[in-house]
Structure 1
Amino acid sequence: MAELPDPVAGLRFRAATREDAPAVHALTEACADVDRQQERESLADVEDQLRTEWWDPATDGAVAEDDDGRVLAYGAVLRRPGQVRTRQAMLPGRVHPAVRGRGVGRALLAWQAARGEELLAAPASADVPRMLRAWVEDHLEDRVRLLRAAGFTPRRFSAIMGRDGSVPVAPTPLPPGVELRRMSAGTAGAALQERVRQAHNEAFADHWGSEPIEAADWRRYCVDGPGCRPDLSFAAVDGTGAVVGYLVSGTYEQDWEPQGYTEGWTDLLGVAPAFRGRGLGRALLARALQAYREDGLERAGLGVDVDNPGALALYVDLGYVERSRETSWCRDVPAA
């Protein structure tokens, strides 16, 4: 197993624990303030991440502490279960601004990459592409330089877009026989949520880098997790009861004060292949924008793959304006 880095700049590395959540959250806040990050993490977010059932912080997480026990760097290696088309390990990491430029980030990333390659090596029989990935906002030039120096290259690009929530959108007619149903959490909404999850996995099967979401992760990230808003989410159902489109929303209140406005966020939007080109995506988004406005939210936001021109054109037509970009930096891992 990849060994943790030796001490760097007076910091000692150790395995992360689930009790590190408050210290890691304080670190993320210090980084976000300096880095002008679009998306923030609440303490509940960090606690939820550190409790992920399929991730073991003892082997796949690391923190760096100073002599006073302050956590000044954190990194994780995340390989989500259920991957079938590719094998990917995500490498989130952050270094406190006070100790940047001293080799801490370089040592942490080297360990993450080595551990990620170990996780992607098994089972060796799977003949699928393997890659290490890290999402970075484009204005974070120090992080970009770090990844480039470690052999990562830009592979995918996402535009972060927003619109004024007070501007109404005309409802779009639904395809014949299709109706929109508001989603919900708990036992009452479980059956519909499961059908939406399956519809999402089918709708995104042909998208680059997309992997199926297992049921536990769907509940964690789309139903019960911090910021999830099933009451602002919708499923499009045809006459047979099949889910043919969906929109999943969230409200992330930790972002609101730094942004200066409240916001409804569209996390996922998808349409079954047989219903594409019939206005269903527009209808779902128009309904969600109405729900955001009724909930008193000032703006609406989403992220879109810039290599998806159809989706990008739809959002622009509905009044969304690009406000920043993120890039997925990747490094291929040869098969074992």
Structure 2
Amino acid sequence: MTGAPTAGRTPGPAAVLCGLGGWLPPKVVTNEELVARLDTSDEWIRTRTGIRQRHVIEPGMSTGSLAVEAGARALKSAQQDSVGAVVLATTTPDRPCPATAPEVAARLGLAGVPAFDIGAVCAGFVYALATGAGLIATGTADDVLVIGADAYSTLLDPEDRTTGPIFGDGAGAVVLRRGEPDEPGALGGFDLGTDGHLSDLIEVPAGGSRQRGSGVPAGPRDHYFAMQGKQVFRHAVLRMTGSVHKAVGRAGWTVAGIDRLAAHQANSRILDALTDQLELPRERALSNIDRVGNTAAASVPLLLADSVNEGSLRAGHSVVLTSFGGGLAWGSTTLRWPQLDAV
């Protein structure tokens, strides 16, 4: 481990990561199963995305189902049966109204605690972490369950070979508790940003008040996810690179001192370009995209859980979390990895 100082953190209570869990729906869809339907090939998918399979929900399941499973595992990892708040990052809520988090909380036996959704697309989990840390800093809660969950299979155009192979469904969660800034697991300063001028690069055009209030009926594919891939690639690398530099600086670290980079698993080529821009050895970048695809808000916590279970993420590692998604939105934070087991 290269080691990194904890200078730059402000005195006072910190949000400390103390529990971690992830869950994937059992159904696996391999590249071979997509080939005939999408007029593509396994080689085309793997060389452009790094993905060979993904998990998808089955009838009777939803984003809420995924969130409950991951949340229960994070609570078990933290050896807790209650928390003071629940924050759910998702772009695929169970219903447009109400938020999904209150029902998730109730199903976890946490009825009565504040519970709400965060919508920042694939950057949502880092935004939810920042929100959970804020709840702890203000004394609103002593501990917070933060979940990232998405079921993007419900948004994909079944005939679009550019988006169809990329996304998978899943959920990951962490428990944050009140602690000290110099503790292992204490979250460092956050860097968050958006650029709404480019909001149409990643979108679902129909279903919201803009389309419904326009008086123009939605087109046959307007309810599906759409993305302008080339521009998204460029901005993802640019924004996450800048955000990592800012978060590392706020922690008093150097980029060279990063032991593990836990970046949103959007595309293997984006991950390679990001580590190259940061001048980090690629082996320091954690990855599970080949097995799960892009799971949107679930991406970062699922990556952390997989990496702990595989042994590639260990206590004492200096870790940077970074993500990028629609909005456009991006965010990063730092922590010294604590001793814990993922469930």
TM-score range, shorter chain: under 0.3
Q: TM-score, normalised by structure 2?
A: 0.24
Of structures 1 and 2, the one with the larger relative CO (CA 8 A, separation 6+) is 2
Larger radius of gyration: 1
Q: As a proportion of its length, which structure holds more strand? A: 1
Q: TM-score, normalised by structure 1?
A: 0.24
